A and B are shown apart, each in its own frame.
Chain A
Amino acid sequence: MAKITVRNLTKRYGDMVALDDVSLEIDSGEFLVLLGPSGCGKTTLLRCLAGLETPDEGEIRIGDDIVFSSERKIEVAPGKRGLGMVFQSYALWPHMTVRDNLKFGLDVLKIAKKPSDERLDRVLEDVGLGALGARYPSELSGGQQQRVALARLLATQPQVFLMDEPLSNLDARLRMDMRVELKRFQAETGATTVYVTHDQTEAMTMSTRVVVMKDGRILQISPPQQLYRQPESTFVADFIGMPRINLIELAADKGRATSYSNTDISIDLGWDPGLERVIVGARPEDINLSEDRAAPGEDYEVGAVLPNGPETIVQLSRGVTSVLARVGHDTSLLPGQMVRLSYRSEAINVYDARTRSLVTSPVAEVAAAS
């Protein structure tokens, strides 16, 4: 169907480099999420795919067609790339009824009246707007407008869906419902989907793979689970996860190859990364707390206890080193209390303090190979 290949794409605005030599392969039927802080280039990349921006260098293929190539001087107009797009603002035409909004794309494709009408009826029914075809966008709720935007994309039956933060204008509850809907339509149509968001929950829940971007570059492309468990750099580790990951810089202990420490704490990694200085990344749920003073680990003082529904976040400190831990909702810990704290060495990630990139343990490599 429609595999998308991006090769060495660069886009500059004056001196600002919005996309810096980006290469990427998107499989047919994949739900790929572009994630990153604002200004990272994710929207620019999406708009380059759509043809709304002209890259300075590189090549884009959609299916078998080269839709952009700086070398071969090819640029296919957005409307001829076989894609549909949902905009952040929905971009519904305010002077057209819901039905006319959908019909516009079919008019462009010069689809005859009868099949066009049938298709519009079906799509409106599908997204649950069957009764609202004659309304104007301004007469609809935010959620309904979102559905119109989705329906408009579905009406032309494109092979590729592009979505630019489509849910960011909805309230939290509605957003949850729409995620399910979007997933359903994507699965039903089998369209290759590229989805831009800065909301990591959205990225994690909907994607088959997530692309994390920063400063116009791709930092990591991984399935969501792997992105969470094995962020390849401290930036990604820090960016993904709420509450954020604990990143602690440690130096190698003299004599003991697997042990690292700072002035306050000491951690045994269980393997030797062979580095002088490392940054340890431990997710809040990878920390064991015990009120039993004989348990392994070191003593920390509880600083704050923050209950949050099904879980409780506990802030602890030892000297000037402060960490966050995630415990059950039934915790009895109180501020000021001393607890025994240990790190699940098999779950924590080790980063080179100089390059800030992941150092893989031999164990993990073996596991990955098998």
Chain B
Amino acid sequence: MSGQAAPLARGRFQVSRLWADPVNLLMLILLVVLAYLVLWPFVQLVIHSFTWAEGDRRVSRDAVPGAFTWFHWLQATTGPISGKMLYGPLVNTLKTGIAATIIALLAGGVLAWCVVRSDMPGKRWLQPMLTLPYIVPSFAIALAWEAVFRSPKVGGQPGLYESFLGAAPPEWLSYGTVPISITLAMHYFPFAYLLVSGALATIDSQMEEGALIAGAGRLMILRRITFPVVAPAFAAAFILTFGKTIGQFALPFLLGAPTQFHTVATMVYANLALGLDSMAFVLAIILIAMSLVSIWMANRFVGKKSRRFETISGKGFRNRVIPLGAWKWPVFAGVALFAFTVGVLPLILLGVQSVMLIDGFYGLENLTWHFWTGTSNPDIAFGEPGVLHNSLILGAAWNTIRLAFISAVIASVVGLVIAYIVVRRDNNPLARALDQLAFIPFLFPTIAFGAMYLTLFAEPVGPIPALYGTFTLLVLISVVSRLPYSVKTGMTAVTQIGRELEEAAEVAGAGWGMRFRRIVMPLAGPGVLSGMMVSFVGVMRELSLIILLITPSTRVLMTVGFGYAEEGMTQLSNALVLIVAVLTIIGELILWWIGKGRIARLREKQT
């Protein structure tokens, strides 16, 4: 080694480091942008609900467009149509939400116990099957339900039920509270299942063994030990699941609207369809309030009570599996049948429906590929060509892929940058504010979020053009709605990158940009990549978020499928939803593959 000195660069800066640091600059920009994209739309929504709109001249002679008014709120809460507008839908929302949550939690709880605590065989492939209904778009399940229980009383062709039993199903089984609750439960039980199995996995079986030694029987242990310990997590799971159900739009709309059965979420859509925007905004605010209350309550349960029940003691933790004995195979058969019925059967039904010339008539002579491969035929489905020849569908497919891809990439990169700021500047209150700001979209039911963007981007504001009807707006709302998730993914990734790795690069003279590009990005890569895939799948199956913002030129598969369903063109909507479902499943498989292979290998390298 020679004693030759490294060139001592003369670069100095007289400015305070606070401003020279590009991270601080980035943080301020992100704060402003996010405030505009997250907080401001909500403020706008509230303002609009208190303002006379142009269209209100139709409903009231006192309307002075632009002026303040209590009219919409009064009309929603005390007006003559308040029962139909608000209270009826509110009761329906609570009714279906609570019923669905109870069913989902019971099913999820029992399944979680079987998978986590029992020695049931076949767990490895039952587990992914059990999460399938949550992966496919929720309205696939609604369409499948309709395929079976469609009632000719509301028009259209008979369903599978009537075709086989010869009698129309009772209306309560076709539309309204019962089918909505059951299908919601089918869609959300995997969510409850994941929450409960997480809680069950933390139980130290030594606690149960202690009770066993004390002479307690199996049931007594379950009742006095196991259940009280998981109770807080159970309560939180209940509220979180409920919070999710109330924001559901497509599913209750398909199974409720034909008989004028409305929830708050479908009422938002219905009002906007009627041009009663302000009323829709009032309902959207009520929906947001319900979501906020439920998440606040869930946090209280998880935050306070569970700490008292902190069960992971670190030392000597064991999770014993309980032998089922002779029940082993019956339990397995039951779970497998359940998984098949809720996960696979609906997709099969959709597939079968999509190849029937006239839906509802089951027979070989009625089978056709027309809806997949046929060209326009004026006698079938008003001349709509099959999927592969339908320029509308092909355009929508292209839009879907484009939207999902662009949104996923942007959401992941922005999420990583925000996560980086939050983790690395954890003592800066502005960084914490950024963290919270990025989480807020999680609190908005998606249809309400869509309603907000409808108000915000209807007209140009300053340098920002009117984005309504543009593809950009879809990307924007998709990105913002994915941020709570991508920031969390990013934070996990960044936390795993030791601070010293970056400091070493800093000492070597690398600026922030170079460090982010050459150290942070490659190391966070695998985690962010899988987060990107999650976002890709999430955006692809999203409907209620964007349904209000779609115009003919920006259609995506989900909205086209929804449109066909609304118009009664069952085969086409089934085909489309099936395509989206298959795409999302492929996405999940890729994700699973990434998780198994690439990430594991890279993780190994890092440690």
Contact = CB atoms under 8 A, between A and B. Distances in A.
The answer to whether A and B interact is yes
Interface of A: 1-2, 50-52, 54, 63, 65, 73-85, 87-89, 91-95, 104-105, 108-109, 122-123, 126, 136, 138, 152, 154, 156-159, 162, 185, 188-190
B507 A108 contact: no
A318 B74 CA distance: 93
A109 B14 contact: no
Contacts of B522: 95
A109 B1 contact: no
Contacts of B604: 138
A94 B607 CA distance: 8
A126 to B, nearest CB: 6
Contact of A138 (B2, B6, B9, B607): B607
A191 B86 CA distance: 77
Contacts of B510: 79, 104, 108
B520 to A, nearest CB: 11
B508 A157 contact: no
B363 interface: no
Given A87-B503, A94-B606, A104-B510, A82 B6 contact: yes
A91 B500 contact: yes
B606 A91 contact: no
A95 B15 CA distance: 34
B4 interface: yes
Contact of B508 (A65, A108, A136, A159): A108
Given A78-B506, A109-B509, A156-B508, A190 B3 contact: yes
Contacts of A108: 508-510, 514
B394 interface: no
Nearest to B2: A157
Interface in B499-519: 500-501, 503-511, 514, 518-519
A104 B505 contact: yes
B364 interface: no
A105 B3 contact: no
A83 B519 contact: no
Nearest to B510: A108
Contacts of B498: 89, 91
Nearest to B503: A52
B370 to A, nearest CB: 52
Interface in B328-344: none
B131 to A, nearest CB: 31
Interface string B570-607: 00000000000000000000000000000000101111
B12 interface: yes
Contact of B509 (A75, A80, A152, A185): A80
A25 B12 CA distance: 23
Nearest to A65: B8
A156 B505 CA distance: 12
A89 B5 contact: no
B440 interface: no
B503 A75 contact: no
Interface string B272-304: 000000000000000000000000000000000
Contact of B606 (A52, A82, A138, A162): A138
B382 interface: no
A24 to B, nearest CB: 20
A71 to B, nearest CB: 12
Interface in B3-22: 3-17
A104 B518 contact: yes
A84 B16 CA distance: 24
B94 interface: no
B519 A52 contact: no
Nearest to B607: A138
Contact of B6 (A152, A156, A190): A156
A126 B13 contact: no
The 6 closest A-B pairs by CB, nearest first: A79-B509, A91-B500, A105-B508, A91-B504, A108-B509, A82-B8
A74 B12 contact: yes
Contact of B501 (A83, A93, A156): A93
9 contacts: A75-B17, A80-B11, A82-B8, A82-B9, A91-B498, A95-B605, A108-B510, A122-B1, A152-B508
A91 B508 contact: no
A157 B607 contact: no
B14 A73 contact: yes
Contacts of A109: 6-7, 509
Nearest to A139: B605
A51 B503 CA distance: 10
Contacts of A138: 604-607
A1 B5 CA distance: 8
B57 to A, nearest CB: 60
Given A81-B8, A91-B500, A104-B510, 8 more contacts: A52-B503, A76-B13, A82-B7, A82-B9, A93-B523, A108-B514, A159-B5, A162-B507
Contacts of B16: 73, 75
A185 B501 CA distance: 23
Given A94-B523, A138-B607, A157-B4, A105 B503 contact: no
A138 B606 CA distance: 7
